[in-house]
A and B are shown apart, each in its own frame.
Chain A
Amino acid sequence: MRFANYDSRFTRCLLLLAVILGAGTINVSAARIGDISETDIVGQAVRFFTFQDPAVRYALIGSMLLGISCGLLGSFIVVRKMALVGDALSHAVLPGVALGFLWNMTKDPVAILVGATLAGLIGAATVTLIKQTTRLKEDAALGLVLASFFAMGICLVTMIQRLPTGNKSGIDKFLFGQAAALGPDDVRLMAIVTAGAIAAITIFYKEFLVTSFDAAFARVAGFPAQVIHYALMLLLAFAVVIALQAVGVVLVSAMLITPAAAAYLLTDRMSRMLWLSAIFGMVAGATGAFFSFLGPKLPTGPFMVLGATSVFVLAFLFGPRHGVIVRWLRQRSRARRVQRENTLKSVYHVLEARDFKGEGVSLRELAERRRETIEDVKEQASNLRSNGLVSLHDEGDVIFLTPAGWQLACAIVRNHRLWELYLTNAAQIAADHVHEDAEKIEHVLGEETVRQLEKRLAGMTTDPHGKPIPTLADIRQGTGFSERPTEPTGYGKR
């Protein structure tokens, strides 16, 4: 149990380290493309934030638009477990981009949109074809199509760059992305596609939701699940294509997956996930546009993706419900509670061993009982005191249970012995097999379960080892405390 926890924590640490390292290496290679130190960073930053430069405006608006559309559609991709499909689709569009460029030898956004969308759809159809006609499963088919289409695209792009004629500027930007290369026509197209995606998701939210969650049920309810699926794919292809120029083919799938994945960790509702994902995408887009603007020839895509990854890491660490840190804190507080309860139980055992004569338990007695050092026991005692379960006397050497401490000690011992009794009686487990189990169960038994156990075991007063089970009266009467609660607060109640 403890090892398993340790193990998973270790894996998490490794994962985090890998993320940081990964971020580092990408940064290094990005720095090589254009050296930041040679340029006036402050001057560029001022230029960026004043928005005087139309190029800055186009880059920023375009990047934020693509963040929104990718974030929205990415959310559906993630909950439909189609992240790989997004990846394959984004690579498959490259040959279409090149052919769109070849159409009239300029970077005409519409021609490129048409070409890329067609290539994406052909890629998707190829995956389906491979799946249906061979024994290959979806992952292999996706990998195949992704790589082959991407290779084809690279060949075409290289060929275009070697052509003697025509305006070749910009085609190379489709690999790693350059937001600064966005023009007014590009941004207009991005705005149209993003508006279309927002409209489609708002209008057909119910349809997208039910087909994503339970396609068979949606079909019986009369919704054309297949049509909705293809509509989503088409929107996805559009989102990928408009993002290409700023993010680049290589990384565009990360803009689909990362903001949505971060949002998925933070909320349990689809509508909130869509909002969060769109906002994260927008923030990541703006971050990428800003950093790539700081130096000449800095690619935008990697910065955007790193921005999105930072959001994801924050969600991963600090998410209020599923976050690693919250889970760690929760686990630690549980471990501390168990520790407290075990110490109280030992105090009870010491008292029981001398027939509850005298209330005080010295640290030495407790240390012997727990087979621990005085220092350890002292620390536990002060922890108990700060929780109001014991009071310390004689310079902290003698422990007195408070009424609350006595109740909790009785409850834990009672839980332990009831459970042992239940296991030997009802589950026919040998008496020497039940202690270890009860050591764990005693801390988790809820009030209702204890009542059921009592009912089943009514009339039995000792555990399988012959020790008396503390009764309700014991809990009430204690060992002669002056102030006592009139009613038991219940067992296992926290």
Chain B
Amino acid sequence: MAEKIVSVQSSLSSAPPLEIHDLTVAYHKKPVLWGIDLAVPPGKLVGIVGPNGAGKSTLIKAAMGLLPFNSGWVKIFGQPVRQALNRVGYMPQRESVDWDFPVSVMDVVLMGRYGHIGLIKRPTKNDREIARECLDKVKLLPFANRQISNLSGGQQQRVFLARALAQQSDLYFMDEPFAGVDAATESAIVSLLQELKNKGKTLMVVHHDLPTAREYFDMLLLLNMRVVAFGPTEQVFTPDLLQKTYGGKLTILSEVAEQVRQKGTQ
């Protein structure tokens, strides 16, 4: 029965870019996300905000199939994640890689093309051209041949953004793209994200700065282990809901999570 619904949905071209149902994820048996339900409409710039440990990064990682989950399902454009990965772009946190790795800026941006190139085949001239354009968009073309450790933090962040742009995806997941960048870079990145959105792409952006969140995003996902609220920014950005997200109202949930870790569920 459920499978039938899946097949019907995937045949519809209007399937939402990201749909999550009853997603629960646990690290070392301790649940960090509880029963997440989400349906993101296309062409939106969505900010994921919440306190530390709210599960923001976990949510996007689970949505991309990088983490195993305990229950629920994720669909991307109506398809299971595995089959839809070619439409997904990812910009991880800067700290997630070793910047002393012996590759040039250009090498990293070209990796954005790898998904399109597929196994074994080499990047073509066209791929290089796209990578160069993306580098130009983040104003790093003059740095193309530099080794990546010879860049400032903000420049490294832009390298990752250029790599994500080179993926030419329809749905993007970005993990704190503004971490450690100066104000000028931040506004440059924001306008690039806006540009992507205007092209009809959907962007899920983990963000931890509340004041700018209101300004940058069309929609906000207030997250604290569960979805506190999801909707257009002007409707969701209310003192009441923010208090619910950041305030100590969820202590029971985290207490239970601790008990689950200690005693197990079975």
Tell me, rounded to whole Å, the shortest Cβ–Cβ distance linking A137 to chain B: 14
Task: Indicate if the CB atoms of A214 and B86 lie closer than 8 Å.
Answer: no
A264 partner residues in chain B, CB cutoff 8 A: 102
Q: In the complex, which of the residues B89, B102, B117, B120 contacts A273, with contact meaning CB atoms closer than 8 Å?
A: B102
Interface of B is mostly: mixed
Q: Which among A207, A214, A264, A273 has the greatest number of chain B C-beta atoms within 10 A?
A: A214
- Contact flags B64-105 to A (C-beta < 8 A → 1, else 0): 111000000000000000000110111010001110011110
Interface of A is mostly: helix
Q: A268-B147, A273-B102 are in contact. Are A220 and B66 (CB under 8 A)?
A: yes
Q: Is A221 positioned at the interface, with any CB of B under 8 Å from its CB?
A: yes
Q: What residue in chain B is nearest A78 (Cβ atoms)? A: B102
B163 partner residues in chain A, CB cutoff 8 A: 217
Tell me, rounded to whole Å, the shortest Cβ–Cβ distance linking B70 to chain A: 17
Q: In the complex, which of the residues A213, A222, A270 contacts B97, with contact meaning CB atoms closer than 8 Å?
A: A213
Task: Indicate if the CB atoms of A81 and B98 lie closer than 8 Å.
Answer: yes
Task: Indicate if the CB atoms of B97 and A223 lie closer than 8 Å.
Answer: no
B114 partner residues in chain A, CB cutoff 8 A: 206, 210, 218, 221, 223
A203 partner residues in chain B, CB cutoff 8 A: 120
Q: Is A204 positioned at the interface, with any CB of B under 8 Å from its CB?
A: yes
Task: Indicate if the CB atoms of B85 and A220 lie closer than 8 Å.
Answer: yes
B120 partner residues in chain A, CB cutoff 8 A: 203-204, 206-207
B231 partner residues in chain A, CB cutoff 8 A: none
Q: In the complex, which of the residues A79, A209, A220 contacts B90, with contact meaning CB atoms closer than 8 Å?
A: A220
B85 partner residues in chain A, CB cutoff 8 A: 220-222
Q: A264-B102, A268-B104 are in contact. Are A214 and B88 (CB under 8 A)?
A: no
Tell me, rounded to whole Å, the shortest Cβ–Cβ distance linking A252 to chain B: 24
Q: Is B194 positioned at the interface, with any CB of A under 8 Å from its CB?
A: no
Q: Is A16 positioned at the interface, with any CB of B under 8 Å from its CB?
A: no
B144 partner residues in chain A, CB cutoff 8 A: none
Q: How many A-B residue pairs have CB under 8 A?
A: 84
Considering only residues 158-201 of chain B, those with a C-beta below 8 Å from chain A are 163, 167, 173
- How many residues on chain B are close to A (CB under 8 Å)? 33
Q: What residue in chain A is nearest B88 (Cβ atoms)? A: A220
Alpha-carbon distance between A212 and B103 when the two chains are bound, in angstroms = 11
Alpha-carbon distance between A223 and B92 when the two chains are bound, in angstroms = 16
- Contact flags A250-278 to B (C-beta < 8 A → 1, else 0): 00000000000000100111101100000
Considering only residues 207-251 of chain A, those with a C-beta below 8 Å from chain B are 207, 209-210, 212-214, 216-223
Q: In the complex, which of the residues B66, B112, B117, B118 contacts A219, with contact meaning CB atoms closer than 8 Å?
A: B66
Q: In the complex, which of the residues B61, B104, B118, B123 contacts A216, with contact meaning CB atoms closer than 8 Å?
A: B61
Alpha-carbon distance between A81 and B98 when the two chains are bound, in angstroms = 10
B102 partner residues in chain A, CB cutoff 8 A: 79, 264, 267-270, 272-273
Q: What residue in chain B is nearest A80 (Cβ atoms)? A: B98
Tell me, rounded to whole Å, the shortest Cβ–Cβ distance linking B17 to chain A: 15
Q: A210-B114, A222-B85 are in contact. Are A217 and B104 (CB under 8 A)?
A: no
Residues of B within 8 A of A (CB): 61, 64-66, 85-86, 88-90, 92, 96-98, 101-104, 107-108, 111-112, 114-115, 117-120, 122-123, 147, 163, 167, 173
23 contacts between A and B (CB under 8 A): A79-B98, A79-B101, A79-B102, A204-B120, A206-B122, A213-B97, A213-B111, A214-B96, A214-B97, A214-B111, A217-B111, A218-B114, A219-B64, A220-B85, A220-B88, A220-B89, A220-B115, A223-B114, A268-B102, A269-B104, A269-B147, A270-B102, A270-B107
